[in-house]
Amino acid sequence: MDLELQWGTAEVTSGDEATLIEFRIDGARREFDAVDVADVPFELGDPVRTFPSWPGKRNYEGSHAMTTAGRSVPFESLTERSCLIELDRLPDVVGVSSQPMWIRWRGEPDVRHAPDYFVRRADGSAALIDVRPTERIDAAAREKFNRTRATAARLGWNYVVYEGASPVRQANLRFLMRYRSAAWRADAGHLRSGSRSLEQIAGELGAGVEGLGRCYHLVWREEVAVDLEEPLSLGTTARVKGER
């Protein structure tokens, strides 16, 4: 997942300018002019809206325990869960919050939008993320996303729309999650250069389950590169990043 990959090509116009940002931190509701919220720690905020439920609801919701952010973050669809899993692989992500704010626009008090996620990075920079499968991005969603990007740009934030991942990639990442713990940590710098199978790399890292766990941890951390659009197996060809 690339947090530098901005949504669309929207230009900032006066009509897109947000006037108010509503948020909750430590249970207290606050509302500021948009120009005054650049330093607010939204990554510590509470959701501004709840996930409604009803009999027969199809959406799968829950929370994802993020190792990088050090907290459990709610999601209300499998696509949102996939987004959180992708974020959890990024070493520079230090904070994530769900439904972090309501954004309201000038002259349209009834128009508002709550982005799905706020992301804080280790260098202090930030990004807003909306999650919407490609086939569900209609004209109304596109307009709202364009406005949200314009608001984020004024605050110096990136704005990303996560449109989902293939079923194969999702399955691979769910498998790799069990090896994300630092207990499996290994030094990829000790691996010899050259592409080879995951089974061979695992053998260089230790015997049996220990070597496999370390190998999969390095794949999770993207220090060993594989094609996640293909089902993982011991025979999958991999490449050690930073090869000499």
CATH number, residue 54? 3.40.1350.10
Same domain, 135 and 200: no
Please check whether residue 5 lies inside any domain of the structure.
no
Task: Determine, yes or no, domain membership for 181.
Answer: yes
Same domain, yes or no: 152 and 191 = no
Query: Do residue 145 and residue 191 come from a single domain?
Result: no
Tell me, what's the pLDDT at 110? 72
Read off the pTM.
0.87
Closest C-alpha among 40, 36, 16 to residue 26: 40
- Measured CA to CA, the distance from residue 123 to residue 134 in angstroms comes to 30
Beta-strand ranges (E) seen in the chain are 18-25, 28-33, 62-66, 71-75, 93-98, 102-105, 108-113, 117-121, 126-131, 158-162, 196-197, 224-225, 237-240
Domains contained in the chain, number: 2
Q: What residues in the chain have per-residue pLDDT under 50?
A: 14, 243-244
With respect to residue 3, please indicate whether it lies within any of the assigned structural domains.
no
- Tell me, yes or no, whether 1 lies in a domain: no
- Predicted confidence at residue 242, as pLDDT, reads 62
Are 115 and 220 contained in the same domain? no
Q: Is residue 203 part of a domain?
A: yes
| 50-109 pLDDT tens trace | 766 655 556 677 889 998 878 899 999 999 999 999 999 998 999 999 999 999 887 776
For position 244, what pLDDT does the model report? 44
Q: 161 is written with which tokens?
A: 């729309």
Is 97 in the same domain as 77?
A: yes
Angle, CA 149 vertex, CA 164 and CA 128 arms, to 5°? 55
Same domain flag for 112 and 144 = yes
Do 134 and 189 fall within a single domain?
no
> Rg for the chain (alpha carbons), in Å?
20
Nearest to 9 by CA among 123, 193, 149, 104: 149
Provide the pLDDT for residue 50.
Answer: 77
Of 123, 139, 162, the last residue of a domain is 162
Single out the residue in 162, 188, 212 at which a domain terminates. Answer: 162
Residues 143, 213 share a domain: no
- Show which of 162, 188, 213 is a domain's final residue: 162
Pairing of strands 126-131, 158-162: parallel
* Same domain, residue pair 174 and 118: no
56 plus 71 within the same structural domain: yes
Per-residue pLDDT, 12: 53
Model pLDDT, residue 52: 62
Say if residue 177 is in the same domain as residue 93: no
* Angstrom distance (rounded) from CA 97 to CA 127: 11
Q: Which domain holds residue 131?
A: 14-162
Four-point Cα dihedral 65, 69, 70, 75, nearest 10: -30
179 and 77 assigned to the same domain: no
